[in-house]
Amino acid sequence: MRLKSGLAGALAWGTTAAAAAAVARVGAGAAANSTYYNPILPGWHSDPSCVQVEGIFYCVTSTFISFPGLPIYASRDLINWKHVSHVWNRESQLPGYSWATEGQQEGMYAATIRHREGVFYVICEYLGVGGRDAGVLFRATDPFDDAAWSDALTFAAPKIDPDLFWDDDGTAYVATQGVQVQRMDLDTGAIGPPVPLWNGTGGVWPEGPHIYRRADHYYLMIAEGGTAEDHAITIARSDRLTGPYVSCPHNPILTNRGTDEYFQTVGHGDLFQDAAGNWWGVALATRSGPEYRVYPMGRETVLFPVTWREGDWPVLQPVRGAMSGWPLPPPTRDLPGDGPFNADPDVYDFAGGGAEAGEEAMPRNLVHWRVPREGAFATTARGLRVALGRNRLDGWPGGAEPAARAVSFVGRRQTDSLFTFSVDLAFAPDADGQEAGVTAFLTQLANLQLGLVRLDGGQLRLRFNASGHVRDTAVPEEWTEVGSCDGGDDGGDGGDGVVRVRLEIRMAAEDPSSYRFAAMLASDPDPDRTRIEVGTAPAELLSGGSGSFVGTLLGVYATCNGAGEGIDCPAGTPDAYFTRWRYTGEGQFYTETDLVPPDEGQGKGKGKGNGKGKGNGNGNGKAAKRSRFVG
């Protein structure tokens, strides 16, 4: 986001605390309306729900089968969003569900966050476990603390997308897809009989309901049309909670369907007020353009101003990349708790002290694909230790043993149109098929990998796998060191020699719709001297398909590619060690050709580079041609 002063662009995309301080000095608000950029939560942040409490905004988004799940973001200014906790951060809060979930887009569906009498509530539905599908309700008095979130109270939610609403007499209700409402006992989870409310305006999948009480009316806002090109937000109202509801004559009140806008699939929204009484809304959107082909970050969170006069229908401002609306609260990063801001770079060395000194906590913005196996990850004095998993990263997730679906993977959301992600790997494979590397990951059925793997009786190869298109490159002999990853103090990590390699994934301005994978010698003072460009793949491979509800994660993996039994690789299989984890955002597209750079001071134009153009820095205001082929 950027204030009209022009300084807040640096703050919006979160490069440094110094940038935040610079904007804070500008003074809040000189005046009237503010100008900002969408998305406010870039990267996979679908189905947003938000609430404001004592001047702090809190938002939750969908996570499906990733874990930890249901992130809570906090902000005082609607610009800087700090990742302060996960609602579902312990397997014990909902035991036995994660590994029993086979589908790639099951798990924690759209949640709602609400606050009442000092307690925060997050209500959701968990899907994908057959007869055990359940509504789940979590609560906390301190949303800045993972440990404060309660175990899940399960209830028999008949449909997805539950909303939590209290009537004037204090009675709690849950509204779900359909749309219907039921009384709910928040202590026991007991729910009353369903009461149909409204089927929408005729679009498919009326869902994502939220109920608001305004003066003499109950307003019911929903999504319909399905979460793709026809997505829209509609609203109806009644003088009784149970209806009948009258449709707004201006429906849909928010949509980008049928337009050529860069932001498409706008829908599934929530409304809230700031401390000054101004109304705002959030919704999901994809930066795909009307072609709806290339959108690897999936469904992101966008912000729009709302005008809602007493007794009238709310007016929602159409979603665009550059927005103008109510005065924003004064810019600040002054928030309690730990955790990164969503737009900040990653600088993680995983320099924990091991079991003797106490392990360093995993950074909050990193997630797994389901709850990880016990002992699969640990921060040690030598870096992040990852135990190889028997299941391949791109293996079919089914199997007789549900636990076999667990993979050794950890990653962070891709949160920028242009970025560089790199990590140093130390690995000494001692049997064929042992592999560790980096990945751009959408689902187990759609991902790109660059791994260091032992093949054919001991050959070390760099293997690039783009959805089944495989290319092997020999590892230079001089990259192999005598010894092991751990110096022999743990055992099980001493192959014929250790390779210390830096692996990199980039999206660059010259080809902003392709992922580029490279490897280089990590120990070289100038690693670029040994750079090997291993492969390129189009982002279209990670757009939609098996991951239409989710978005790309960038991270690391380790596998023995099926050796062993059950979920375990053979005894003595070496671990992989990762250090120097770096992610740097290098630009956000807010139209198909215009970039909001990480630092507004880089040039006179709105692009990244020489400042002559509004595009990707080549001076002509146009983005480079999008690659559609694996190279």
Query: How far is C-alpha 316 from the geometric centre of its chain's CA atoms?
Result: 25
Please state, in angstroms and rounded to a whole number, the distance separating the CA atoms of residues 290 and 230. Answer: 11
Could you write out the DSSP letters of every residue in 321-383? SEEEESPPPPP----SS---BTTSPEEE-----HHHH-PPPPPTT-BEESSPPTTSEEEETTE
What is the rounded CA–CA span in Å between residue 258 and residue 261? 9
Distance CA 177, CA 156 (A): 14
Dist. CA 540–CA 612, nearest whole Å: 29
Whether 490 sits among the annotated catalytic residues: the reply is: no
- Dist. CA 531–CA 529, nearest whole Å: 6
Neighbours of 295 (CB within 10 A): 25
State the alpha helices, DSSP H only, in 136-287: none
| Residue 454 DSSP SS3 | strand
Residues 63, 44: Cα–Cα separation, whole Å: 9
Tokens 């005598």: give the residue: 482
Active site (annotated) includes residue 161: no
DSSP output for 465-481: EETTEEEEEEPPGGGEE
User: Is the CA virtual torsion 511, 512, 515, 518 positive or negative?
Assistant: positive
| Active-site residue, from 47, 106, 125, 416 | 47
Active-site entry in 207, 346, 594, 600: 207
Paired with 49 in beta bridges are 60
In Å, how far are 199, 521, 532, 580 from 583, measured between CA atoms?
44, 18, 20, 10
Which has the closest alpha carbon to 70: 91, 58, 86?
86
Which H or E element spans position 131? none
Answer yes or no: are the C-beta atoms of 139 and 150 closer than 8 Å: yes
User: Which residues are designated catalytic?
Assistant: 47, 207
